[in-house]
Structure 1
């Protein structure tokens, strides 16, 4: 057999062709492999998630500080100390929204160095956070938030809280609560903690609503 001959293994349909003679579809699949995918371009269209937390201590019992929680007032309850109204639930929602949209966090947006936010309600802060997220080119899919603490007892007003939060954010917000079985600073009723997650998704300029 001369040098130009090509051995054929029994069972093979034909000798292997050089890469330059490979069928066009095979070359096309190779060219469209993972190395050619523009991940940044794909990310522009994917939903994003964020996590937010907030903690506040209870004000002194004789301070007369009212309780503002989940965008609701709670008559007869001692409120939370803070630069604003201490609404840990609304604040955690804000933090989660900013995290999801890549806009920083609660402190960088509503810091204690900014006097206009002193004493601001959780409703006002959540509404403003949602506005900034939409202004940045996102729409809010949903927010889920959980309050952790021994008091106040919120079960009877959970649906009301969800509605109030949803109205403030102009988006679906689900609210729930739990305790630590009297463990830790939360169990000793020294303060309250809230944890929230938010989902936002980018909105193309052509269909983006005007944000007032």
Structure 2
């Protein structure tokens, strides 16, 4: 069986706003993120994991922040692009494990909806998608509430 593993990581600083996009879900928060697209760290880390497993570079290569087409873009478009690349290279997604790193906002109440949207965009069962969160016990930039991060791991299986 031909399998590949990829990992991804993304960070965005908090800035003005009243929500953050996480896993395609608009999560109410007392600030937004500073980003070229919608700044969805969950989906950006996921895309980097899939692209890394395919050895196709990173999200910035496929959707450069210097390109005005991606200003404010919905990151679910990026996930759908990665799904197409999986198919072109004859891989299917085995599973994904995503961890959001932040003190706030609370992720748990939104994790199920995130899992559902990601599963739908990738055409897999919800039980192939894990979304969870952790804090840094008030240490570092996430602990100080300066930003949010996510890491993702995925398993690809050759069709």
TM-score, normalised relative to structure 2: 0.91
1:148/1:178 contact within 8 Å kept: yes
| Residue matched to 2:20 | 67
2:12/2:34 contact within 8 Å kept: yes
| Residue matched to 1:199 | 155
| Residue matched to 2:12 | 56
Q: How many residues align?
A: 156
Counterpart pick for 2:88 among 124, 135, 138: 135
| Residue matched to 1:119 | 72
2:27/2:110 contact within 8 Å kept: no
2:18/2:29 contact within 8 Å kept: no
Q: Specify which structure has the higher proportion of strand.
A: 2
CA separation of 1:157 and 1:65: change in aligned 2, threshold 3 A: closer
Q: Which has the higher contact order (CA 8 A, sep 6+)?
A: 2
**1:153 matched to 2:106:** yes
1:150/1:189 contact within 8 Å kept: yes
Unaligned runs of 5+ in 2: none
CA separation of 1:105 and 1:76: change in aligned 2, threshold 3 A: closer
Summarize deviations over 1:73-127 as a string: whole Å, max 9, x none.
Answer: 1134422111100000010000000001111111111111222222111222112
Quote the Cα distance in structure 1 between the aligned partners of 2:6 and 2:118.
17
Correspondence 1:72-83 to 2 at 5 A: 72-83=25-36
Greater radius of gyration (CA): 1
- Secondary structure in structure 2 of the residue aligned to 1:166: helix
| Residue matched to 1:178 | 134
RMSD: 1.5
1:94/1:130 contact within 8 Å kept: no
2:4/2:155 contact within 8 Å kept: yes
Counterpart pick for 1:91 among 12, 36, 44: 44
Give the deviation of 1:65 after TM superposition: 5.8
